[in-house]
Structure formats: structure tokens, C-alpha cells
Chains A and B, each alone.
Chain A
Amino acid sequence: MSQLFSKKNKEVFSNPLSLNNPITVQVLGICSALAVTAKLEPAIVMGLSVTVITAFSNVIISLLRKTIPNRIRIIVQLVVVAALVTIVSEILKAFAYDVSVQLSVYVGLIITNCILMGRLEAFAMQNAPWESFLDGLGNGLGYAKILFIIAFFREILGSGSIFNYNFVDALHLQEYGYLNNGLMILPPMALVVCGCIIWYQRSRNKDLQEK
């Protein structure tokens, strides 16, 4: 048991959560991170889906890594990921239809999500299944964490609600002159909020700054 959670494995899991975060440091998976974060609910569903898919595709490719011929490895990776995404997409359509409509094409776009291909190439092809699972889990959760933060600010400031509970209406804040910042729900602010998160992370962590 101590082998499974050795110090090295713990690092493999915890690095992507902050120091080697897929979005703010590795610059992967930006597309869907910006598009689905207008509200918290789709952001969390997307984060969980990507975590599950990254973890399991890492395990599958890691199990197959010695048998894949080099010339077709991208195609094999794409097929494995596409199959997993199809399964997750059908599950979402069956059990969480409203959210799957909000996510629309971005569920399908998990196939081309750079985090998946990036981790498959950089880690799963060279490491054992358990480590690959931890790496996939860590990167997925790091991605979900950033999605949560962006969606948190955008939903509170943009629609005055949390998880669709509209507290601005409930507390009658309009009577005090408070208006929701409609710009927050629109695409440009997602980019600016993400830029600010990167700014904050880099000012706390000097070695991430570029020369």
C-alpha cells in the first residue's frame, strides 16, 4: 500500500493541481475552459467528465503502450479517447440532459482537448498504469479547479447566482442599485479572468514567470 502512495506518486498527483497546472502553466485545454464557464453547473460537469476521461484513457494507453506501433500511435490514441468520449456523452445525454445541451459541442471536443493528447504522449506512453491513472486524475482535477474558479466569478458577477440560485433576486439587491455585470457572461471576460488567475499565480510563484 505504501508503494502505491509513495512520495513520487503523490507528487505525480499533486503537481498538476497547482505547480504544473494544465491550464495556467502547461497551457493546455484552454478552449473548453473558457467556453463552458458562464455558469457553475456546466463547468463542474465538464471538469468531472474531463477528469474521468483523462484518468481512464491514460490507464488504457499505458496498458497498451508496449504494443502500439510507432507510426499509428496518434490514431490509436484518438480512437481510444473518442470511444471514451462517446460513452461519457451518451451517459450525460441520458442522466443530465439539460447540462449536456448547455455543453453542446464541447463534450465532443474533449476528444481534441490538448490535455488528453498531451498527457497521453508525455506520460502514459512511458509509465506504468497506476502512475498514469494518478497523473490523469491530477491533471483532470487541476483543470476542474481552474474551471471552478473562473465559473465562480463569472456566475456571481454576471448572473448574480450560484448553481442557478439567484441570490441577487432573493435579497432584492436591485433596490440598492446593484446591477449584474452582463459582460461577465460573454466570451471576452472569460479570457480576462483567466489572464488574472495566471497573473495571481505567477506573482506568488516567481519561477513560473517568463523572462
Chain B
Amino acid sequence: METNLLSLFVKSIFVDNMIFAYFLGMCSYLAVSKNVKTSLGLGIAVTFVLVVTVPVNFYLNQYLQANDLGFLSFILFIAVIAGIVQLVEMVVERFSPSLYASLGIFLPLIAVNCAIMGASLFMQQRVSTDITSAGAATVYGLGSGIGWLLAIVGLAAIREKMQFSDVPAPLKGLGITFITVGLMALAFMSFSGLKI
């Protein structure tokens, strides 16, 4: 059982990377990745929200499937996510006002980050295969968050250095970022046969 959880953890960071394999969370990813420090803060916030929402949605999903209410899962998942993000916002504001100020608008925007909803939907799909317990769901959430954090910090580091490169005008900014992320995704594909 322990090797299964470790394998799930490593797989969800590298093989099923939220950005490079499934393109989830791209909007805030592209908007925030100009600066390594803010990217780190956002990555940690996303990881924290994932670790809390995926197990809660796991239990919710079990209840819905048992009562044949599967079609309500979209509405209830997003409601849970919005509620938990609101809670996280209040906790961060109370215990760390400086972090709250530096994250600004991006903290409430985590509620509509596709990576959070996507992790819950993937968990729902994989309930019968590898995510069979709340522990596995937590590990999956943690791994997905860390994978997202690695991706955003990596891209921010590259973009900071690229400010001094001679990029052609039509490619500057968004265009070259897309191509860079594509090359990073290509590199991450090398993990695809990974087995622990």
C-alpha cells in the first residue's frame, strides 16, 4: 500500500503534471510567471487548496454516487472549491497579512483555476482505478500541486532571464512563452515511463 501511494505521488508530479500533460491552470500560470517570488507564493497557495479540496470532494463524490446524484457533481464540486478558497483567504488574511497583500487578486482567482477543478474531476474519473481512498486523494492533490508549482517557478525563472534576450517583436511576450512552455512539456515527456 505504501509503494502505491509513493508511486501515485511521483506520477502526479512528473508524469501527470497539471500544466505540461493536461494544460490545467494555464491562464493564471501565464499571467503570474513573470516573477519567481510571486510564482512561488501562488504555487504554494494552489498546492494548499488542492490538498484540502481533493479529499473533501472525494467524500462528497462517494456520497453522490451512492445516492445516484452524479449529475450534481459539477455544481457541488465548484461550490466546495469556492467555499474552501474563501476560507483560505480569511485564514491567510488573519495569520499573514503580508502574504495576503502580495498575492492580491490572485488568491480569490484560485477558485476558478482549472487545475483545482480539474484535479477533482480527474479524481472522480480515477475512483475505481488508483485513487481508492481519501489518503490517496490527498497524496494526489499534494503531488498535483507540487507539479504545478515546479512548472510555474521553472517558467518564471526562464522568463526573467529572457527579458535580456533578443526576441523578434511579433514573438515577444506571449508567443515566445508558449513556445518555451511547449519545449518544457517536451522535456517532461521524458518521465512518461516512470515506474516506482
Name the contact of A34 in the complex, choosing from B26, B31, B75, B183 (C-beta under 8 A): B26
| Chain B neighbourhood of A78, CB < 8 A | 78-79, 82, 111-112
A187–B185 CB distance below 8 A: yes
Name the contact of A105 in the complex, choosing from B21, B112, B122, B176 (C-beta under 8 A): B122
Interface size on A, residues (CB 8 A): 46
Task: Name A9-23 residues within 8 Å CB distance of B.
Answer: none
Q: A74 at interface (Cβ–Cβ under 8 A)?
A: yes
B27–A195 CB distance below 8 A: no
One digit per residue, 1 when the CB lies within 8 angstroms of any chain B CB and 0 when it does not, for chain A 59-91 equals 000000000000000110011001101100110
Name the contact of A31 in the complex, choosing from B114, B121, B179 (C-beta under 8 A): B114
Q: Is the contact region of chain B dominated by helix, strand, or loop, or is it mixed?
A: helix
Chain B: number of interface residues, binned into ranges: 35 or more
Q: A113 at interface (Cβ–Cβ under 8 A)?
A: yes
CA distance A198 to B25 in the complex (A): 20
Tell me whether A112 and B71 are in contact in the complex, defined as CB-CB below 8 angstroms, given that A27-B30, A78-B82, A202-B170 are known contacts. no
| Chain B neighbourhood of A79, CB < 8 A | 75, 79
Smallest distance from the beta carbon of B23 to chain A beta carbons, Å? 4
| Chain A neighbourhood of B135, CB < 8 A | none
A198–B174 CB distance below 8 A: yes
One digit per residue, 1 when the CB lies within 8 angstroms of any chain B CB and 0 when it does not, for chain A 178-201 equals 000000001111111011101110
One digit per residue, 1 when the CB lies within 8 angstroms of any chain B CB and 0 when it does not, for chain A 108-124 equals 11011110010000000
Q: A30 at interface (Cβ–Cβ under 8 A)?
A: yes
A195–B182 CB distance below 8 A: yes
Q: A166 at interface (Cβ–Cβ under 8 A)?
A: no
A83–B75 CB distance below 8 A: yes
B27–A28 CB distance below 8 A: yes
CA distance A35 to B8 in the complex (A): 22
Most chain B beta-carbon contacts within 10 A, residue among A29, A189, A200, A202: A202
A-B residue pairs in contact (CB < 8 Å), sample of 18: A27-B27, A30-B23, A31-B114, A31-B118, A35-B23, A75-B82, A83-B75, A89-B74, A90-B71, A108-B117, A109-B118, A187-B20, A188-B20, A189-B182, A191-B181, A196-B175, A198-B175, A209-B170
